[in-house]
Chain A
Amino acid sequence: MTILKAIIDQFLPEWAGGQRLISGASLGTLAAQLYSVQDNIVAHPGGGQAGATPLTAAFCDVTVVASTNDSVLLPYAIPGNSFNVSNSSANGAQIWARPSNPHNGGTADVIMNQGSNTPLTNVGFNPGYVGNFYCTKPGVWRKDI
């Protein structure tokens, strides 16, 4: 398994120097990381971390939260990573961090809420909210809302 300290690390060895052929696949990966969209996300019924619907794109729209606190799961917290999440449903959702991050020694990821110094395994996400989650330290998501 590739241990990434940062999302950017995968590109830097290849992208250096002067004029050269560039891998379309790695350029496509970069573009996807920046602009990919995951729409019509259905939060996991019943909530909780196990079974929570994984968020996989740069822009994620949760459209179905059948019951309050149905859940979705953030990607691994790797520095340089950033995600925008919207909750377009009429119910609040739970957003969970990963229980184990292979890019951070297998420890659990956490989420830091605005104005708080307490690491959390999950945060609530109100209906109609749009938030940005970003990572500058392995294993730690920070939430801007």
Chain B
Amino acid sequence: MDIINSQIDKYLTAWHGGPQLISGDRLQKLAIELMNYENGIQAGVGGTLAAAYPLKARYSIVNFVNNESDSVLLPFAIPGSIINVANITAKGITVYAQAENPHNGGLPDSIFPIASSTGVPSSGQSPFVSNIYYCIVKGQWVLFF
């Protein structure tokens, strides 16, 4: 399994030295990671980790929440990752971290709320609030809004 220390590591081995041919696919992948977005997300019904909708994009908009605390799931916490999550509904959502991160020895990811040194497996996100989740340390999402 590919163990990634940071999001940028996968590019650095190919991007070095003088003028050279560059893989278009690799460059496209970087652009997508930086700028892609997903609209029309429906939070997983029931609010559990198992039911949580997996977020994939740099910018994610949650448009549908059937019941209070329906859930979404952050990607693996890999340093250099950052995602914006907007909950544009009138109901709160539960944002889960991954239960097992293969890029961090299979340990569970955690979320660190603002001004807290304690990681939690999930965090609530209020109606009409957009948050930024970013990762500096493997396995840890830091919440900013």
**Chain A residues proximal to chain B, CB less than 8 Å:** 6-8, 11-12, 14-22, 27, 30, 34, 79-80, 82, 112, 114-117, 132, 134-137, 142-145
5 A–B contacts from the bound complex (CB under 8 Å): A16-B28, A19-B21, A19-B23, A27-B27, A80-B36
Cα–Cα, bound, A27→B86 (Å): 29
Bound-complex Cα distance A15 to B130 (A): 31
Cross-interface CB contact of B28 among A6, A12, A142, cutoff 8 Å: A12
B126→A11 contact, CB < 8 A: no
Check if B86 sits within 8 Å of A142, measured CB to CB: yes
In the complex, the answer to whether B22 meets A20 with C-beta atoms within 8 Å is: yes
Residue contact A117 to B88, C-beta cutoff 8 Å:
yes
List residues of chain B with CB within 8 A of the CB of A117. Answer: 88, 90, 127-128
For B60, what are the chain A residues with a Cβ–Cβ distance below 8 Å?
136
A17 touching B86, Cβ below 8 Å = no
Instruction: Show the binding face of B for A, using Cβ within 8 Å.
Output: 21-25, 27-28, 31-32, 34-39, 58-61, 84, 86, 88, 90, 126-132, 144-145
**How many residue pairs bridge A and B at CB < 8 Å?**
100
- The answer to whether A16 and B25 touch across the interface, beta carbons within 8 angstroms, is yes
Taken together as a complex, chains A and B put the C-alpha atoms of A122 and B144 apart, in Å, by 22
Q: Which residues of B contact A114 (CB under 8 A)?
A: 128-130, 145
The answer on a CB contact under 8 Å between A115 and B127 is yes
- A136-B86, A144-B144 given; A8·B31 CB < 8 A: yes
Establish whether residues A136 and B31, one from each chain, have CB atoms under 8 Å apart when the complex forms: no
Q: Please judge, given known A-B contacts A6-B37, A7-B35, whether A17 and B25 are in contact too, CB under 8 Å.
A: yes
A18 touches B31 (CB 8 A): no
A16 to B25, CA, bound (A): 5
Within the assembled complex, what's the spacing in Å between the Cα atoms of A18 and B59? 27
Give the shortest distance, in Å, between B33 (CB) and chain A (any CB).
10
Asked whether, in the complex, the Cβ of A137 is within 8 Å of the Cβ of B24, the reply is: no
- Residue contact A20 to B21, C-beta cutoff 8 Å: yes
Q: Which residues of A contact B88 (CB under 8 A)?
A: 112, 117
